[in-house]
A and B are shown apart, each in its own frame.
Chain A
């Protein structure tokens, strides 16, 4: 096994894991605070990727797509929460599952109507279209390094926000005990809108960042959705820190698995999940 190849796979795994973190942190927050299972979360990721494809095609560069996906995601998520999800606060899980399943179908159809059903590629921004030479025989894509950096920066900002601010403490309170939020006199409606907007923005940003790394195609959110659920289960529902470590773990296992034991890679993460469910049902990184 050559060392340079292994190093590249580890970096790829971390970068994949950090993208997974952007998606699953939104999923886990939305679940923790709102008690909503959002199956359409993968579709939001897909919308972000398609937004990047359209904007990169129109402007010739990806740069506009990153803030646009973040801001557009926040607005879109806030709107979705206000118009649809608010009505489903007191409903059963099943109704929420079906609502978000309907959204998947509608988003897919909207994508097919507005664009097409083809695979597309998005160019890496010209500034970052080079490789960083790490050692004599190992070079790594500058864009991938930038993605690593952006994701780590966002993760750090999220930790600071959730741990240090007043709204962050409300989010933590809601994740542990929904009634406590009402007792503390926090406006639950506004908190929900904020959390859903943030989750949507993160998922769409992840989509925009991932667009140059892989093809943009119909149903691309589906795979990410399922893996994000695994991340959330392993990390512990509602836990940002849990999602972070679990996402890194899954990213590394999946990437290294695909590189070195391709036959077993598809099922390895599910076996891990089953083991976690048996051993620590509350999540691997949940506080005791």
Chain B
């Protein structure tokens, strides 16, 4: 996977700094918008690990995202009060990762079209668990108690006034950490092995790599990262519903990755901000949001072959 050049990383760092300074110059509304974009970026990054990393297209990614969000709710219900974020974040990561570990061995027996269909089906299976059973609070969703920033009696109180700024910084921190981990991971032997699978799976197998295990590791890690994104979404919105797990959201993440550029690690971040901005502009022009969304997707697949990250490339990205 292509990573940003030193100059690109500098630009990303400057953008992060601009976001970190938003409490000084931006309205709460715009800070919330930036948080939404950053959560979308985390979610799309988790998919990019599969797609740009190992060449796997999955439509189950939203299910892991939704599990991460529901884990916050279920944990809060089990504890009888708002959980500490130091407990809920690992819980979300673990639940989503474990679900991926259970589904992965089945889904990853297939490739290409089959993988799409099986991940679609497994994702919908989890969707129906939350939609049809009372486990998560039913089909309409529930308001949840936000995790608190406290542990062992020491804590930091989030009020209605400082919430947008605090959440903005927390989301920025998590997104930065996620990007840094993936940036490092793609440079390790594991990352290179994934890229080898994306380029030619049969060759990797012939060379003696345990392809299924590598793919499973990527699938589980991507699931866990999606769970983190889901946790942050639950923290921000204080609301969960089954739609979080639905395949429409997975398709949205695919769109964000495509919009940003499949081969580039920073693509999902560009794509998520562009997508959020387009949605915001679309909403101010027309009430028909799906029309705007549909036309954007059509334009993206028809015209933007290498995504936003590819716009400045002189030649097409090596695949």
A residues lining the B interface (CB < 8 Å): 31, 35, 37, 39, 87-88, 91, 93-95, 97-99, 101-106, 108-109, 112-113, 226, 229-230, 232-233, 237, 263, 266-267, 270, 273-274, 277-278, 281
Contact = CB atoms under 8 A, between A and B. Distances in A.
Contacts of A232: 117
B109 A105 contact: no
B298 interface: yes
Interface string B124-147: 110011001100000000000000
Contacts of B116: 37, 93, 97
B297 interface: yes
Q: How large is the interface on B (under 10, 10 to 19, 20 to 34, 35 or more residues)?
A: 35 or more
Nearest to B122: A270
Interface stretch (B200-208, B215-223, B232-240, B285-293): B285-293
Nearest to A230: B121
B106 A93 contact: no
Contact of B255 (A91, A101, A263): A101
B43 to A, nearest CB: 16
Chain A interface mostly: helix
Nearest to A262: B132
A281 B114 contact: yes
Contacts of B125: 266-267, 270
Contacts of A37: 113, 116-117
A109 B288 contact: yes
Interface of B: 51, 57, 59, 106-107, 109-110, 112-114, 116-118, 120-122, 124-125, 128-129, 132-133, 247-248, 251, 254-255, 258, 262, 288, 290-291, 293-295, 297-298, 300-302
A93 B119 CA distance: 14
Contacts of A263: 133
A100 to B, nearest CB: 9
B144 to A, nearest CB: 23
A267 B294 CA distance: 31
Given A97-B57, A267-B125, A233 B117 contact: yes
A175 to B, nearest CB: 13
